Amino acid sequence: MSRSPHDDAPERLLTPLGSPAVSRVGASGFPLDDAATEALVRAALDEDAAFHDVSTLATVMSDRHVRATLVARRDGVIAGVPLACAAFRLLDDRVTIRVEHPDGSAVRAGDVVLRLNGHARGLLSAERVALNFMQRLSGVASLTARFVAAIDGTGARILDTRKTTPGWRHLEKYAVHAGGGENHRMDLRSGVLIKDNHLAAIGGDVGLAVERARAIAATGTMIQVECDTLAQVDAALAAGADSVLLDNMSLEALRDAVARCRGRAVTEASGGVTLETVRAIAECGVDRISVGALTHSAPALDLALDFDGL
């Protein structure tokens, strides 16, 4: 695994005593501003009753300071550092945080992601929320990186889908980007994808569907048609679709579709794509491969917070 998927990642950062913790680091385009980040993290802390942590209040002296490290237990790619930093800052506004591996960084098991120095109570009470954010998003980034590596050299690109956790779409799509993938449309307004159920509503008339979409979509909007058969591919091309989504097609059909679309429309393969099958799909010559599993089935990356002499 490459040690640094993002060549433009900033140098590691140090938050000086008394200043806010790092709020934006690593892969470009973190989707939340400072206020939205704080609101999301505070809600998670409130859900966990982190400001009323009975276990910590009962066992840890109020003046106790500690050093801690957030460590990767497995190989992967990091995402969610700004959220973790916000969690620690909200429980200890004087915490210092050194970011050793910002978002988009590849890590090996044992690598230190963050170094922290602050009040023991604050770090302990924020620990679970910080890890929950980072493990989930780093899991998405890590799985994305595996798919990207699997098709290296083919010319195809890995995309996500709208199969995201409600309320987390921008964060999960950001994590896909951190892992080296690309984003499909963000929402139902940002692109047109005419699927089988849309076609069923108008008797399967691909030409009419594309015509109506062009009439109401903003100028420059990509019009994509989901195709299950080569006959639908031909109909989409005849209608002037910008892209065809080749859904659950055999490798032979994919190669045929790519040949028909060359120079006329962007080709995208989708449907049940796995790490075991993605290379063969890419070698059919498709431009893009969309993988719902990146966001709906990514396993969490194993991360832990280790305290020094607590």
CATH of domain 13-148+298-307: 3.90.1170.20
Q: Which of 34, 195, 262, 308 is catalytic?
A: 195
DSSP letter string, 47-114: HTTGGG-HHHHHHS-TT-EEEEEEEESSSEE---HHHHHHHHHHH-TT-EEEESS-TT-EE-TT-EEE
Topology match between the domains 13-148+298-307 and 151-296: no
Q: Which of 111, 226, 242, 268 is catalytic?
A: 226
| Domain locations in the chain as residue ranges | 13-148+298-307, 151-296
Residue 247 annotated in active site: yes
pLDDT tens readout for residues 198-255: 999 999 999 999 999 999 999 999 999 999 999 999 999 999 999 999 999 999 999 9
Residue 173 annotated in active site: no
Q: Which of 163, 212, 214, 279 is catalytic?
A: 163
How are strands ordered across the β-sheet holding 96-99?
13-14, 96-99, 112-119, 65-72, 303-307
Residue 48 annotated in active site: no
Q: Which of 242, 247, 268, 288 is catalytic?
A: 247
Q: Please give the average per-residue pLDDT across 144-165, as a whole number.
A: 98
Q: Fold for domain 151-296?
A: TIM Barrel (3.20.20)
Q: Which of 128, 212, 260, 279 is catalytic?
A: 128
Residue 42 annotated in active site: no
Token digits for 33?
């501003």
Confidence of residue 28 (pLDDT cuts 50, 70, 90): low
Query: How many Å apart are CA 96 and CA 229, to the nearest integer?
Result: 57
pLDDT tens readout for residues 276-292: 999 999 999 999 999 99
What pTM, to 2 d.p., does this model score?
Answer: 0.90
